[in-house]
Amino acid sequence: MSWTRVCEIDDVEEEDVIGVSVDGQDIAVYRDEDGGFHASEGHCTHERMLLCEGLVMDGIIECPKHNGRFRITDGKAMGAPVTVDLRTYPVKVEDGEVHVDLG
Protein backbone atom coordinates (compact mmCIF):
# COMPACT_ATOMS: atom_id res chain seq x y z
CA MET A 1 0.00 0.00 0.00
CA SER A 2 1.15 3.50 -0.74
CA TRP A 3 -0.78 5.94 1.41
CA THR A 4 -1.02 9.62 0.60
CA ARG A 5 -2.45 12.12 3.07
CA VAL A 6 -5.23 14.03 1.30
CA CYS A 7 -6.96 16.11 3.99
CA GLU A 8 -8.01 16.34 7.62
CA ILE A 9 -11.27 14.75 8.70
CA ASP A 10 -12.72 18.17 9.54
CA ASP A 11 -12.18 19.30 5.95
CA VAL A 12 -15.15 17.19 4.82
CA GLU A 13 -18.59 17.54 6.36
CA GLU A 14 -20.93 14.56 6.68
CA GLU A 15 -22.72 13.81 3.41
CA ASP A 16 -20.31 15.97 1.47
CA VAL A 17 -17.42 15.73 -0.95
CA ILE A 18 -14.26 17.72 -1.58
CA GLY A 19 -11.80 17.65 -4.45
CA VAL A 20 -8.09 17.23 -3.87
CA SER A 21 -5.21 17.06 -6.28
CA VAL A 22 -2.48 14.48 -5.73
CA ASP A 23 0.48 14.76 -8.09
CA GLY A 24 -1.77 16.41 -10.65
CA GLN A 25 -4.45 13.73 -10.29
CA ASP A 26 -7.94 14.88 -9.26
CA ILE A 27 -9.44 12.83 -6.44
CA ALA A 28 -12.87 13.12 -4.82
CA VAL A 29 -12.98 12.48 -1.06
CA TYR A 30 -16.40 11.71 0.44
CA ARG A 31 -17.72 11.53 3.96
CA ASP A 32 -20.90 9.51 4.43
CA GLU A 33 -23.72 10.08 6.91
CA ASP A 34 -22.05 7.75 9.41
CA GLY A 35 -18.77 9.65 9.26
CA GLY A 36 -17.04 7.06 7.05
CA PHE A 37 -14.63 8.23 4.36
CA HIS A 38 -14.40 7.07 0.73
CA ALA A 39 -12.42 8.20 -2.31
CA SER A 40 -12.75 7.95 -6.07
CA GLU A 41 -11.34 9.43 -9.24
CA GLY A 42 -12.26 13.09 -9.35
CA HIS A 43 -14.16 13.24 -12.64
CA CYS A 44 -17.47 11.79 -13.72
CA THR A 45 -17.05 8.91 -16.20
CA HIS A 46 -19.70 10.46 -18.47
CA GLU A 47 -18.29 13.81 -19.55
CA ARG A 48 -15.53 14.38 -17.05
CA MET A 49 -17.34 16.88 -14.82
CA LEU A 50 -15.62 17.42 -11.46
CA LEU A 51 -17.57 15.40 -8.90
CA CYS A 52 -16.54 17.63 -6.00
CA GLU A 53 -19.14 20.09 -7.33
CA GLY A 54 -21.85 17.45 -6.88
CA LEU A 55 -24.16 16.44 -4.06
CA VAL A 56 -23.81 13.49 -1.68
CA MET A 57 -26.99 11.92 -0.32
CA ASP A 58 -27.67 8.45 1.10
CA GLY A 59 -24.25 7.17 0.03
CA ILE A 60 -24.64 8.40 -3.54
CA ILE A 61 -22.75 11.16 -5.37
CA GLU A 62 -24.81 12.99 -7.96
CA CYS A 63 -22.89 14.61 -10.79
CA PRO A 64 -23.85 18.27 -11.21
CA LYS A 65 -23.77 18.19 -15.01
CA HIS A 66 -26.38 15.60 -16.06
CA ASN A 67 -27.30 14.20 -12.64
CA GLY A 68 -25.51 10.88 -13.16
CA ARG A 69 -25.30 8.97 -9.87
CA PHE A 70 -22.60 6.72 -8.41
CA ARG A 71 -22.41 4.76 -5.14
CA ILE A 72 -19.56 6.28 -3.12
CA THR A 73 -18.48 3.03 -1.45
CA ASP A 74 -17.55 1.23 -4.69
CA GLY A 75 -18.11 3.74 -7.51
CA LYS A 76 -20.95 1.76 -9.07
CA ALA A 77 -22.75 3.69 -11.82
CA MET A 78 -26.43 3.70 -10.87
CA GLY A 79 -27.96 4.17 -14.33
CA ALA A 80 -28.20 6.43 -17.38
CA PRO A 81 -26.55 8.65 -18.36
CA VAL A 82 -23.63 7.08 -16.47
CA THR A 83 -22.67 3.55 -17.51
CA VAL A 84 -19.01 3.28 -16.47
CA ASP A 85 -18.21 2.84 -12.77
CA LEU A 86 -15.89 5.25 -10.98
CA ARG A 87 -12.52 3.99 -9.92
CA THR A 88 -12.38 3.98 -6.14
CA TYR A 89 -9.41 3.90 -3.75
CA PRO A 90 -8.80 2.46 -0.29
CA VAL A 91 -9.04 5.04 2.48
CA LYS A 92 -7.79 5.04 6.06
CA VAL A 93 -8.14 7.60 8.83
CA GLU A 94 -5.28 8.07 11.25
CA ASP A 95 -4.73 10.79 13.84
CA GLY A 96 -7.50 12.91 12.37
CA GLU A 97 -6.10 12.72 8.86
CA VAL A 98 -7.46 11.01 5.77
CA HIS A 99 -5.10 8.92 3.65
CA VAL A 100 -5.78 7.39 0.24
CA ASP A 101 -3.97 4.55 -1.50
CA LEU A 102 -3.78 5.53 -5.15
CA GLY A 103 -2.03 2.28 -6.05
Residues that bind ligand FES (CB under 6 A): 44, 46-47, 49, 63, 65-66, 68, 81-82
Nearer to ligand FES, 39 or 44 (CB): 44
Q: What is the dihedral of CA 57, 51, 7, 72, to 10 degrees?
A: 50
Type of residue found at 61: I
Least distance in angstroms from the C-beta of 93 to ligand FES: 28
Least distance in angstroms from the C-beta of 75 to ligand FES: 13
Q: Name the CA radius of gyration of the chain, rounded.
A: 12
Nearer to ligand FES, 46 or 99 (CB): 46
